[in-house]
Amino acid sequence: MIDETQTVHLRDLRNLGKQGGATARLEDGTELILKPDYAVKKARGYVDGILRDVEFHLPYKSIYSHIRTIKKDNHLVARKTRSPAGFVLRLTGKGYQSPSYRTNKQKGN
């Protein structure tokens, strides 16, 4: 049985982006910076024939299935683990707690 309070949702990515200092590493090794509404991928690219630093704004919905780990201030917040339902992005319990998890804990559930 999967504990839904430990599963990372899109709202958790948004909350981590609001708090700041959070990064996500994708399965291909790419590192993204989490912002309140999107993730930022930094790269080098040509703009008007000149090599520059560019930023790609990626919606959370498009990258969620590719996230391998999430870090916040050098704490591993979440990692992709194997479960009977497939691979699931799960919270480690350090550095961030889901608002729904805190609400359920206060109610005594």
Confidence at 27, pLDDT banded by 50, 70, 90? very high
Side by side, which strands form the sheet with 86-91?
50-58, 39-47, 31-34, 22-26, 67-72, 75-83, 86-91
One-character DSSP codes across 87-100: EEEEE-SSS---HH
Confidence at 83, pLDDT banded by 50, 70, 90? confident
> pLDDT by residue (tens digit) across 46-72?
999 999 999 999 999 999 999 999 999
- 92 phi/psi in degrees, rounded to 5: -90, -20
One-character DSSP codes across 35-61: -SS-EEEEEEEEETTEEEEEEEEE-HH
How many domains, the chain?
1
Residue range(s) defining the domain that contains residue 49: 4-107
